[in-house]
Chains A and B, each alone.
Chain A
Amino acid sequence: MHPGAWFVWALAAGAVAVGTTNPFYLVLLWAVSWTVYALCRRDNAGGDAWRIFVVFGLIALATRTALVFFGPVDAGSVVAAALEGLRLATLLVVFGTFNAVTDPFAVLRLAPRRWHEPALAAALALSIAPRMISAAGQVREAQRLRGIKVRKLAALPAVVVPVLATGMEEAVTLAESMDSRGHGRGTRTRYRPQPFAARSFAVTLGAFAAAGAFVALGVAGSGDATYQPWPLVWPGASAWMVLAVAALALPAAVPSGPREGGGAG
C-alpha cells in the first residue's frame, strides 16, 4: 500500500476519534485499529512498538480520569473525563497503528518541501520510540544482573538515565547521518516513486468517505456523537455512523497483492 494512502487513513481515523466522545464509536475504532494492525503490520521494530502506544493510551485514560478527582465530583463528571481519556487513548492507538503499518520516513518523503522540517521532527520522534523501547529492555536486564531491583521506584534512575543517554546518542547519530547525506539541501527528487495502485486508491477514497460521513452525521446531531453524561444514561448510536467507523477497517480487507518495486509500505 502507498504510504500516502496510509496517511489519509490515519487522518480519517484520527478525525473520527476527535469528533466523538461516544464510547460505542471509540471502542469500535479501537477494534478497527487493532484489526488493521494485526493484518497489515510490518515485521519490524515499528510493528513491535504498537503495544507501547496501547500502554500509553491506557495511561492517558487513567490519568485523565484521575484528574477529575481534584475538583467537585459527580458520577457524570467521572464518566465524561473517562470518555475524554478514552478519546485520547484511541488517538494514540490510531497513531500506533499508522506507525506499525508504514515507515514514517517513507511518509516524510511525500511531504511538500515547506512542511519538511515539522514532518522530519515527527518522523524522528516516531522512529526513536521503538529504539528506546528496545534499549529499555536491555538496560533493565543488565541492571537486574547487577542485583538492582528494577521494579522498585528507587531504581528508576538506573533504567531511565542510561535509556535517555542512549536515546540521545542515537538521535544525534541519526541527525548527523542525515546531514552528512545532504538532508535539507532543498532540491529533492524521488527514487522509484511507488505507483498509487488501485488498492491505495480504494483505501484513500474509502477512508475519506467514511470519516466525511461520520463527521457530517455527527455535526448534524444524529447518533449522539458528542455524548454528555448528564443524566447518566447509555448514549444512543446510529447504524450509519457505526458502519462508517467499521468502514475504516477497509485496509485490512483489500487483498495485499505482490509487493511493488519502490517505497516501503
Chain B
Amino acid sequence: MSDAVLFEGVTFTYPGAPAPVLAGVELELAAGSFVLVAGPTGAGKSTLVRAVNGLVPHFSGGTMSGRVSVHGRSTTEQPPRRLADLVAFVPQDPGAAFVLDRVEDELAYVMENLGVPGAVMRRRVEETLDLVGIEHLRDRSVTTLSGGERQRVAVAAALTAGPRVLVLDEPTSQLDPQGAEDVLAALQRLVHDLGMTVILAEHRLERVLGFVDVALACPGDGRVVAGSPRRAMDVLGSGPPVTRLGRRLAWDPLPLTVRDARRRAADLSLVPPAAGPPAAGEVVLEARRLRASYGERTVLSGVDFTLAAGEIVALMGRNGAGKTTLLRCLAGLHAPASGTVSGRVGPPVAGRDVALCPQTPESVLFRDTVGGEIDATLGAHLGGQGRDGVLADFGLTGLAARHPRDLSAGQRLLVATAAIAATGAGVLLLDEPTRGLDLEAKERLCAVLELKAGRGEAAVFATHDVELVAELATRVVILAGGEVIAAGGPGEVLGDSPVFAPQMARVFGPGWLTPEQVATALGVEARA
C-alpha cells in the first residue's frame, strides 16, 4: 500500500520556544487509515496535524527541518492552498473558519478556488450534502447552526474538493455525545467507502478509540510514537475509563473499548453499589418554575432547580437544550420571563453570591502575570480569600509570575477560572469547563471543585463529558427542550441511559461510575 503521509526527520520549533515541539519525527501512514493523534495539551498534537497540510510552518512561523509529504507532494515547497485538492483541514473552532454565509455556498467555496467546472460543482455539492447527512441545512446561514451542525458542515465543506487526506483538530470537543457519534460515523464512512485517510487529534479518547486503526502518541517530549491504539495508550499511560480499569486489574490485552472490557468482565460478578445518601446541606440557590426566552424562541419552560451547600451538580443535555440559559438565569444575567431565582438572602447578585465561568473563560485574561489576574479580581472585590490562597487552591502558586499567554491551554483555563472564582462567591457556575482539556487539567479542576464543595461551597457545571460527570458530580440534571427530564444521583440518572451512560455502567451495569469505584469493589470482593 502506498504511503499517504510521510514525515522524514521532522523537527519543528515555534518562534521563541526553548525546545522543539516535534523532534526527529518519522512517520509513515498508509492510505485509507483512520488515525488518532493523542497526548496531553501542548505536546504537539495540533502542530502535527497542521503540519500535514502545511499550515505549520507556512502560517505558524518557527523553524522546521526534515520533510513532510502527502502522496508524494512536499508541504515545504507548497503552501496549504496548493495542497487544497489533496489535503483538507477542519480546524478546532469551525465557526470562526466559515467564509461564506450560506451552507451550500460554503460547500462550494473550495471548488470555486480550485476552478472546478460549474456542472461538476453542482453534482459534488449534492453528493456531499447526502454523504454527510446535512441536506436539510443547505439554505441555512452558518451563523444559525448548532455546534454539531457546524462541525458536520465544516467536514462537508472540506470534502467537496475530493481530498485524499482529511485532517481534523479536535472535531468532537464541542459536541454532545450523540452529535459526536454522528460526526465520527460520517468519518468512518469516508474511510470505509472512499478509502480516504482521516487523521484526527482528540482528547476524548473514550469516543474515538473504537473507530481508529492507527494511533500516534505525543507524550510531550517531542517524540511521536506510531502504532496500534493499544500501544499509544501504553506510551501515554492514560486512556478512557475501561483502559484505566484494565491497567489497575492488570488485564492483558488492555481493553480499549466497552466491548473489549465487557468480554473480559463477563466472568466477574459485582453487587450493584448502593447510592450514596443525598446531600442535605442548606439550600444556597433555588429556581422555581423558571421560563426564559430569546425573542420569540422559548428556551426554558418551567424549570425547578435547587442547589445545596456542598453539592456539585452536572447539567447535561443536547446542544441547544437550555443549559447555558439556565446558568445565565441562575447568575442573574438573563432576566427570566417568569419564575424566580433566589439565593441565601433574596435574589443572588452576580459576582458576589454567584460566579459564572463562561464557555471561553480565557477571554477574560488581560494582565501580564497570573498573579496580576487574581489581583484584578480581588482588587475589585476587596474580600474573599487572599491571592495566595486562590493560587494554592488551583495549584497555580508556581506560575504566579508567568504570562498567561505563555501557559498551556489547560493551565490558561485554570487561571481564568481562578480569576473568576476569586470573587469569593459561594456558588460557582461553569459552562462546559473541560472543552479541550487533557486528563491532567481535568483532574486539577475536579480537585478544586471538590475542595470547594468540602468547604460548604457549591458548583454547577454544564457539560457533554459523561466521564467527567461520573467522576465529579454529586447530582445530575438533564435538560431537554427547556425542561428537566431527569434529576438525581449520577448512578441512577446516567446508569441506564443509552446516550449518557459512562463506560463503567455500560460494562458492569447501572450504578457503576468510575474505574476506581469498580477496582475497590473488586478488591474488597477478592479479599472476602
Which A residues lie at the B interface, using CB under 8 A?
Answer: 42-45, 103, 105-106, 109, 131, 135, 138-139, 141-149, 157-158, 161-162, 165-166, 169-170, 172-193, 259, 262-264
Q: Shortest beta-carbon distance, B173 to chain A, in Å?
A: 15
Q: A147-B381, A158-B376 are in contact. List 9 more A-B contacts (CB 8 A).
A: A142-B361, A146-B380, A161-B365, A161-B366, A165-B405, A173-B91, A174-B97, A189-B111, A264-B100
A131 to B157: give the CA distance in the assembly, Å.
Answer: 21
Contact in complex: B331, A145 (CB < 8 Å): yes
A45 to B89: give the CA distance in the assembly, Å.
Answer: 25
A216 to B222: give the CA distance in the assembly, Å.
Answer: 69
Q: Shortest beta-carbon distance, B378 to chain A, in Å?
A: 9
Q: Shortest beta-carbon distance, B425 to chain A, in Å?
A: 9
Residues of B within 8 A of A44 (CB): 101, 141, 143-144
Residues of B within 8 A of A138 (CB): 358, 360, 363
Contact in complex: B112, A191 (CB < 8 Å): yes
A263 to B424: give the CA distance in the assembly, Å.
Answer: 52
Residues of A within 8 A of B143 (CB): 44-45
Known: A147-B377, A148-B380. A181 touches B364 (CB 8 A): no
Contact in complex: A106, B377 (CB < 8 Å): no
Contact in complex: A162, B365 (CB < 8 Å): yes
Known: A138-B358, A146-B376, A177-B99. A263 touches B105 (CB 8 A): yes
Contact in complex: B363, A179 (CB < 8 Å): no
Residues of A within 8 A of B364 (CB): 139, 142-143, 146, 158, 162
Contact of B79 with A by CB under 8 A: yes
Interface residues on B, range: 35 or more
Contact in complex: A179, B100 (CB < 8 Å): no
Residues of B within 8 A of A191 (CB): 105, 108, 111-112, 118, 121-122, 125
Contact in complex: B114, A182 (CB < 8 Å): yes
Residues of A within 8 A of B351 (CB): 144-147
Residues of A within 8 A of B121 (CB): 189, 191-192
Contact in complex: B118, A182 (CB < 8 Å): no
Contact in complex: A180, B55 (CB < 8 Å): yes
Q: From A123, which residue of chain B is reached at the shortest CB distance?
A: B99
Q: Which of A142, A169, A181 interacts with B109 by CB under 8 Å?
A: A181
A142 to B364: give the CA distance in the assembly, Å.
Answer: 7
Residues of A within 8 A of B98 (CB): 177
Contact in complex: A149, B380 (CB < 8 Å): yes
Contact in complex: B97, A173 (CB < 8 Å): yes
Counting chain B CB atoms within 10 Å of each CB, which of A143, A173, A180, A190 scores highest? A180
Q: From A104, which residue of chain B is reached at the shortest CB distance?
A: B101
Q: Shortest beta-carbon distance, B95 to chain A, in Å?
A: 9
22 A–B contacts from the bound complex (CB under 8 Å): A105-B100, A131-B96, A135-B363, A138-B360, A142-B363, A148-B376, A157-B366, A165-B363, A166-B363, A177-B97, A180-B89, A181-B109, A183-B81, A183-B113, A184-B113, A189-B112, A189-B118, A190-B112, A190-B118, A191-B108, A191-B111, A192-B118
